[in-house]
Chain A
């Protein structure tokens, strides 16, 4: 066999792509052959979305090294802008795939705008302060979308901001035949569910290409230098704001696209779907998979989404088991004593570890 002279990271990257492609083909065949249970095939698209969210958050937390507790905020922005885009194009563009593509792009763009707006002031903060501000941002987005009334008719989009909670759908003054897209706290209803597993796969591949190429590029090395030692990086002339913002906004845009895909997978979505717990769940996937480890995030996202499903036979106890597994895994992978025990079983890896 011919031996390729590739760098180790490149090999890992190709293995990641290959793994995702093979898994997709297997699942796709199984789904079409009717070998997947109803609940399982229903989970395929959400799992794809969560993989993208986890990989994109890994860019912020693992590669850039800034803790973000508001990733669901960007997902939410993406989801609702994607829903608005897709719903208002019903009848204009017939092809559902094209509408889905436009919705994903719209989700990504609006989430990126939110990323810039949040990123510029907020990235000055560090550590736990940044974490709390991203948390606050997520909550703010949730509340703002709760106040949003959006409808469409032949004159175009009608948007109202229902700050006092006194306005109703009637106040949009839609024409005969107009459609209401978002009804404030009731969220978006009557969504045409156009998300497909294939679209999810394509989005995962795009995300992997974007994130992996960014990480392995000159900019990616600059971003990682900022993570490892900000002062040293700054002193060799790395533009802190530029690179931080680059990672943060890319992460937000990808999360937005994932949000749009997620939103268009359900017929009704409310803004509190994307609450603090979702941010935490995505963070969990990143930490579980290993900070800065992209394929780790992919696997962790799939496992964490599947775990409650696999524990279903325990019924009421499943979330309890989930919590216990979570604590035990964290202790097993981080406690020095356990680590030594594991280290004796598994041969030592070469190279420095990435620490948080």
Chain B
């Protein structure tokens, strides 16, 4: 039972990282209707920047995280402006390929700047919290990850439902032309979405590398794909959906690793995804919009 609980906790912790990444995916998808494949690589950049800030610059942890967030936000806005903005009216496949190009670009730049060798990432907080006389250790980093994830989820929900910019974002994702007629600056809103998504990616990068302390130029791609899966799982475009999808995906992955097979953990995750999509074609919390003829 305790064993099960510890797998469950590590699953929730992993799932929280996925959820934070998935939130970035889902917001960008909701507003720009594009799969931002470069999102996973922004995570990697966030990881490297925070690592360098802590080791080379000797900044305190909070400042390193802040720096990573600033760098990623700027990076996200630049990517959006240079690569995606010219393609606003292009077919979605062209944008997808461009996003893949950006992803290659980031990975190879990282390869040139930081080299291919994995770097060891020192977790931002260490130590474990012990329950039941030390039989159920919970690392502080998992607790931090889960709480950060919940805070972000609540924050984003409030932001999109209450604030003016958040409402503008929802309006843009609903109908861009109508939003523009209402005096919303669509381009600015999309840039803002990318900025928020990239800042979240930086946080995710720090948390991911703290839980799995190796950092390579390709570190971001698999979590990126998983988070994308999580976003679709929960219903892409929906913020609570991304949260739920991420957590569930993490739990499924962790339990599958423990009880089915380490090698087949990804297979189980993806098989569950396929089954869920067959039963609920728009994801768990996604709205199924019937086509009007």
- A residues near B (Cβ < 8 Å) are 61, 67, 121-122, 124-126, 128-129, 131-133, 135-137, 139-140, 143-144, 146-147, 162-165, 185, 231, 276, 280, 283-284, 287-288, 291, 316-317, 319-320, 322-324, 326-327, 330-331, 333-338, 355-356
Contacts and interface: CB of A to CB of B under 8 A. Distances in A.
Contact of B261 (A140, A165, A355): A165
Given A323-B108, A331-B86, A336-B89, A129 B270 contact: no
Interface in B82-105: 83, 86-87, 89-94, 96-98, 100-102, 104-105
A125 B274 CA distance: 10
17 contacts: A122-B274, A125-B281, A128-B236, A136-B274, A143-B263, A144-B264, A144-B267, A163-B263, A280-B100, A287-B97, A323-B102, A323-B108, A326-B104, A327-B98, A330-B90, A334-B86, A337-B86
3 nearest CB pairs, A to B:
A356-B91, A136-B270, A326-B101
A137 B274 contact: yes
B293 interface: yes
> Could you say which of B93, B104, B291 has the most chain A C-beta atoms within 10 Å of its C-beta?
B93
Interface stretch (B135-143, B152-160, B164-172, B224-232): B224-232
Contact of A143 (B86, B93, B264, B278): B264
Given A140-B271, A280-B100, A335-B86, 16 more contacts: A128-B232, A128-B236, A129-B232, A133-B273, A137-B274, A147-B261, A283-B97, A288-B97, A291-B93, A319-B104, A322-B104, A330-B101, A331-B87, A331-B98, A335-B87, A336-B89
Nearest to B221: A276
Interface in B143-189: none
Given A139-B266, A316-B112, A334-B87, A132 B228 contact: yes
Interface residues of B, number: 47
Interface in B278-293: 278, 281-283, 291, 293
Nearest to B281: A125
Contacts of B255: none
A131 to B, nearest CB: 8
Contacts of B112: 316-317, 320
Given A139-B267, A163-B261, A330-B98, A320 B105 contact: yes
Given A67-B93, A330-B101, A320 B263 contact: no
B261 A164 contact: yes
Interface in B106-122: 108-109, 111-112
A355 B91 contact: yes
Contacts of B52: none
Contacts, number: 138
- Give the interface SS of chain A, mostly helix, strand, loop or mixed: helix
Interface of B: 29, 35, 83, 86-87, 89-94, 96-98, 100-102, 104-105, 108-109, 111-112, 221, 225, 228-229, 232, 236, 260-264, 266-267, 270-271, 273-274, 277-278, 281-283, 291, 293
Contacts of B228: 132
A148 B271 CA distance: 18
Contacts of A139: 225, 266-267, 270
Contacts of B282: 129
B156 to A, nearest CB: 21
Contacts of B277: 125, 129, 132-133
Contacts of B274: 121-122, 133, 136-137
Given A135-B225, A136-B229, A136-B274, A163 B264 contact: yes
> Could you say which of B35, B92, B104, B111 has the most chain A C-beta atoms within 10 Å of its C-beta?
B104
A284 B273 CA distance: 25
B171 to A, nearest CB: 22
A276 B225 contact: yes
Given A129-B232, A320-B112, A330 B97 contact: yes
A252 to B, nearest CB: 16
A316 B291 CA distance: 49
A334 B108 contact: no
Contact of A323 (B94, B101, B283): B101
B264 A147 contact: yes
A30 B86 CA distance: 43
Contacts of B225: 135, 139, 276
A189 B91 CA distance: 43
Contact of A231 (B92, B102, B293): B293
A282 to B, nearest CB: 12
B92 to A, nearest CB: 7
Contacts of B86: 331, 334-335, 337-338
B67 to A, nearest CB: 24
B167 to A, nearest CB: 25
A326 B97 contact: yes
Contacts of A336: 89
Given A132-B273, A356-B92, A326 B100 contact: yes
Contacts of A327: 83, 98, 101-102, 105
Contacts of B229: 132, 135-136
A317 B105 CA distance: 10
Nearest to B265: A143
A201 to B, nearest CB: 28
A147 B100 CA distance: 29
A20 to B, nearest CB: 25
Nearest to A354: B91
A179 to B, nearest CB: 24
A356 B92 CA distance: 7
Contacts of B97: 283-284, 287-288, 326, 330
A346 B273 CA distance: 47
Nearest to A334: B90
